[in-house]
Each structure stands twice: as C-alpha cells, then as structure tokens.
Structure 1
Amino acid sequence: MKSVLLCMALSAAVPALAAGVAGAAYPPLLPPPQLVTRLLERQPQVTAAQAGIEVEQANSRRLAAGPYEWSVKASAQRRNEASGPRYHENEVALERPLRWMGKADKDAELGRQGVSISEARLADAWHEAARTLLRRWFEWVREAQAARRLQQHAALLGQQADIVRRRVAAGDAPRMEMMLADTERNRAEAAFLQAAQRRDLLAASLAVSYPGLAPALPDGLPEPALPAGDAALWRRTILEDNHEIELADAEAALGRASAERAALERTPDPTLGLRYAQERDRQERLFSVTVSIPIPGQARREQVVASQGRANVALENARAVRLKVEADALAAALRADGTQTLWRQLADIGRQSGSNAALVARAYELGESPLSDTLLARRQALDALSAAEQAQIDALEAQARLLLDMHAIWSLHAD
C-alpha cells in the first residue's frame, strides 16, 4: 500500500524537468542513487508524511459523506382521561439534517485539497530528507579528505625526518635539527589522529541514521562539473518545480476553500424528519413530515470572519515562502558558480605550494637550504593544498545541492 501511495504522490506532485537538467551527469562522489532512494524511503519524516496521505484520503471520504447521520426517536406514553378510560400511545420519528446551498460540493473540494496538501508534504519531506543526507555526507567527506591530507603530510615529514637523521649521522647537520624534525612529524601525526577520530565519528553517525550506507572516498577527488546553462537558468528551473512553494500554495488554496465553506454556514442546514404516532390505543394514527431550521446567530458570523482571517494568513505565508525560495534558489545558483571559480584559483595555489615544498626539501637534502625553510614550506603547502581540497569539496557539494534542488538527482519521482 505504501509503495502505491508513494507512486501516486510521485506522479501527482512532480512534473518532468527540462531535458538539459534531466540529462545532467550524476556526481561521482555521491553514494549510488538506488541506495539513496532506499535510505530516504525509510526516513521517519518520509514515512510519517506517507502515512499522512492515508489520513487525508480517509478525511476526504469523511467530508464527502458529510457530518450528518440519521437519528431515530421513540416514545411511549399513557393517556388518562378524567372520567374515561386509559389509553396507551407511542410515537417513532426518523430525522436527519441535510446539507444544502452547495455545502456538499465544497466539502468534497476541501477533501481533495487536503489530499493535495498531504502529497505536497510527502514531496517536501522527501526533499528535506535528501538535503539532510547530502549535508551529512559532505561533512564526512570533508573530514575524510582532511584526515587523508594530514596522513600524507605526516608521511612526508617522516621521510623528511629520515633525511635529517642521515645528515646528522653524516655530520652534515646538528642534532637539534633531528629533534625539530621529529617534533614536526609527531605534531602532524597527532593532527591526523584527531581528524581520523572526527571522520570515524561522522561515519558511525551516518551508519546509525542510514543503515547500509558505507562511506568511502575515491583515490582522488573528482572535478566539479556544473550542469548546462547559467545561474539564471538554474534558478528558474528550481522555481518551476519547488515543493515548498507547492505546499504553501496548496495550504493557501485550502484556506480559501475553508473560508468559502464557512461563509455557506451562515445559512443553517435544515433537519428533515418523518414522524409516525399511534394514539388512543391505535384508534388514531398520525403520519407527519417535520422540518426544523436553526436561527443563525453571532457565532456563525464570527466563524466566517475567523475563517477569512486564516485564509489571509495562509496567503501571506505562501507569499513569504515564495520569496524565501526565490532567495534560496538564487543563492544556490550563485554558490555553485562561485565555488567553482574559487576552487580553480585555490587549486593553482595548492599546486604551486606543493611544487615549492618539494624543491625546498630537495635543496635541504643537498645542503643548500636550512631545515626551518623546509618545514615552513611543508606547512604552507599543507595549508594551501588543504584549502584547495576543501574548496573543491565545497564546489562538489554546491553542484550536488544545485542538482538536488533542480530534482535532477535523488528526486521522489526518480526511477
């Protein structure tokens, strides 16, 4: 049943994307899309939203059936005349209020609106769960890459310490340099252990929240690749199919329909009754039709005012959501473009710093440079390479977030 509901919501909530976006390449750093789909299906907010569809479907059927039911009344009495006999009498009546003035059609519309809202909530819950998974995934990627870089840095400093040890043994360098090299290596190894601990803690947290997800880094970070188009196109694509806007608009539509339904209540519903009575020991039989109509008062009028106020609140909330989503869409598009540019600049600096560190280390090995210059160059190279790699990860995350918001990856309607 849940899979059927998921498919129904899927087909109703999400239209097809533009061909260029739909054909965007899947980012290689992310976990497999089939695995992500299985993980998202089991997230509590998604399963709760799925159950909400069943609730609203039942509520829609309730509204279509209406709030009124048949009522049966029965009574028995004994008539005592002052100077005559006694008679047994009884009466039975069947009554039911009737919706009129288009109230039944409006109730059915409210039911359909409720189902639409629940479907939009499912799509929004799915998208938010996907955003959370993406954010937590890249948190782990950052720590994993930082640990890898620090491990490589510690290994280079270990090689540097070996070179220093050989020079000290040969009498080409003072013993103090060996102590300095060992201290630098030990500091790098401690930094690696700290980063590895953070990485492992994040991996354990992912394993608890997403059973079956085994994070792993490739040998080298992939290069970010933005989808075709520019920031303006990406922003339009996000806005054309956005679950937050769909949900807010659906709630505003429900508010309007609820206000219209409340306005109809200014005219009360009549109650139609059928009455059958037997009097004077069945000597008299009575059959009658009764109609009763409540007299409307101030409570009904105030209910209309309150419903109109709630409709206005929902409308303004929808406007606020649209403005927020427009700002977020613009920020996502600009962030994807800007992080790409920043990564390229920092990557050039990182390569230059790495080359410079290698040259200075070679100069020390040949006795042409002091150890302090070598260690400083190593630290500068570490900082530059780490900054470049973190910028690359930022660009990869911005690219993935852009594709996610455009429903090109991890979408509810993905096959």
Structure 2
Amino acid sequence: MPSEQWTHPEPGDGPAAVAAKPSPEQVIAGLRATSEGGAELTQLLTPEGQRIPSPQFDKYVADVDDEVLKNLYRDMVLVRRADREANAMQRQGQLGIWVPLLGQEAAQIGSGRALKPTDMAFPSYREHGVAYTRGVDLRELLGIFRCTDQGGWDFAAHRFHPYTIVIGNQVLNAAGYAMGQKFEGRVGNTDGDGNPSDTDEATICYFGDGATSQGDVHEGFVWAAVYDAPLVFFCQNNQWAISEPTERQSRLPLYQRARGYGFPGIRVDGNDVLACLAVTRWALEECRHGNGPVLIEAFTYRMDAHTTTDDPTRYRLSDELEEWKLKDPIERVRAYLARGGGADHDFFDQVQAEADEFATQLRDYTFNMPEPPPERIFANVYAEPSPVLDAEREEFLSYLDGFATAGEH
C-alpha cells in the first residue's frame, strides 16, 4: 500500500511526514503547525482577551462598545448552556441524537449577528447559535432531534432555512436562492444620494470543513461565481470531518480554494466573536453591493463529539483538546470585559443564572413534548394531495389498528 502525505508544510519547514497511518507524533506536529491559523488569520481579540487593532476591519465593529460585547457574551453563554443541556438529554434518552456546537459559539454568534433581517441563512445541522440569532426559539429545534418533526419555526419569517442533514446539499440551495436575489435586482442598488441601498439582500450558507470534499459545495462555488451571486460561504473549519482531520482533505488552507473559482477568500479566528462579526459584516456588504460571492473560513475547533453517536477519543489526542481549551471563545470575551472594567462579577453571575433558567425551560419543554400522531409522518411530503401517498397512509394506519384489536379475538 503506497504511503500518503499526511502534512503539507510551508516552504522551508522541511519534508512532509508520510505514513499509511499517521503516528501520534505526526498528528500533533501537524496540529501545532496550524493551531494558530497561520499568518493570514484575521483576529481582533486574542485568547488572553487583548484587543488587536485592524486597519481593514475595525470600521465594521465601530459600534461595538462594552454593552454590545456584553450582549455577544450573553448570547454565547446561553447557547453553550442550551447545547450542554441538549447533550445531556440525549444521554438520558430524551433526544434521539444531538449535534454539539461546543467551542464554535463565537463563529456562529458573530456571523449570525452580522446578518440583517432581510438576509437569508442556510444552515447545516449544527447551527443552533445562528438559529438563536435569527430569533428561532431553540425549543423549536428540539423536535428534529427528538424525531417528532422537521423543524417548527417559520422559515420565511425568520429568514433561516430548515436544517440540512445531507452533507453540503444546502450550498446548492443557497446558491440558487442567492442567484434569485441577483436576478430580482436585490443587490447593487443605491439610494437617491448615490449611496448603497439599505434594502439590498445577501445570503449566507454554513458548512463544515468535511463538506468541502463534497461535490455539491464545489458546484455551489461554480454557480455563485459565474453569476456573481450575493452569497457568503461560511465554512466552520473545526478541523475534524467526523474522524478525518483537515490535513487529509486539502493541501492548502481551505479559504485559499476560493481563488480557483475567482472570488475572495479569508480566514478568520473562529473563536474570536468580534473578528467573526467584523469579517462577516464585510463579506455581506460586499455581496449586497454586487461584489459577491465570498468564502470565509472560520478557523475553530470542535470541543465535543461530531454527534452523540461519535467517540472522538478514538481518533484524536487529549493534548489537542487541552490546547484548544486555552482559546475558549467565551473566556476571551470575559477576560476582555473584566480587564477593562466593562463588566463585573454581578454581570457574569446574572448571565449564568439566565443560562441555567434557559436550560431548565428547554428541559421542561422536551420532557413534556407531545408525541405526534402516527399519520404525521405522511404530512408535508408533497405540496399537493397524492393518491399514492394517501393509500399508503391508510394502509399504515390500518396496520397499526390491527395491533389494537388483536387482543379482542
């Protein structure tokens, strides 16, 4: 069996490690080489909570004072607490599965808060934080994971598309939607003074690093590029496509793939909520002005399993996890606020109390969620009535009725 290249070093770093199966040392070496995201990483807030000025992106967060940052902190804490509660409920048999977002709160809250009410978001299946920023009641997400519905929110009203389970499929949906925005003239307009219009729209589409190996994603890149679609491709690179690291999927950083399709790509610190907010605002503005698409690679880390059916201890080392705990997206905001006097212990305690109450509400809702009737499985399959589906429903219900009457004979 021929050996395969495991890491792809920068020029001057020496030869790449090769092995049919990488050794633990090779894994750690590759991770340490990319753990900071590289020289082109956009970062405004360090893991220690220190503000880094950016001539390019500071203007996109000029309105972010301590109060705004406190709200971003609250968003992340509440979303993390909800995520941990849902994870626990799955272990207790209340949910069929759960998809954790632990560690990715900054990428989701920062990008989600960058959206305007008229923008549209297309998620995969992990964007619980983005759903929260779009005004979706997180209780409406739980039916998906309890296997009672496909999502209870009003997709059009919240401008937040249904979750997509098929890896990368949402990228094609988003590309088509953004092309429609372009065809309908909802981008590149100006007001009476020649300034960019406030009514223009953009679309953002979320996917993970693993999805970049799917054909649907690349087809979406092609269509969006050809039609200058107002589409922000937001890749949350949490570095593990289930059990395969990014190094086995790409020879280059993922954001550089945009060059091959003729549109800009940028890598942002996905654990920096301020940088994610700024970069996403910039990218959406580019799209609304008619300069799209844009690819954002949010360089972050999945601190938990891929889903609750996954065991990450089988394919990654604890050294890696401990390293990323030091880059926690919530703690860096807390450090910044505490150091600058923007928040005190009372504020942090209050937010934690809010988060605990939020989790209690989710838990009570889940435990008391009504079971749907069996015919629910046949609902919303087709827009119009279907004789074939009607016959199948009647046959299924008749089959179930047979169990109820079996004891009478």
Q: What band does the TM-score fall into relative to the shorter chain? A: under 0.3
Bigger helix fraction: 1
Q: TM-score, normalised by structure 2?
A: 0.21
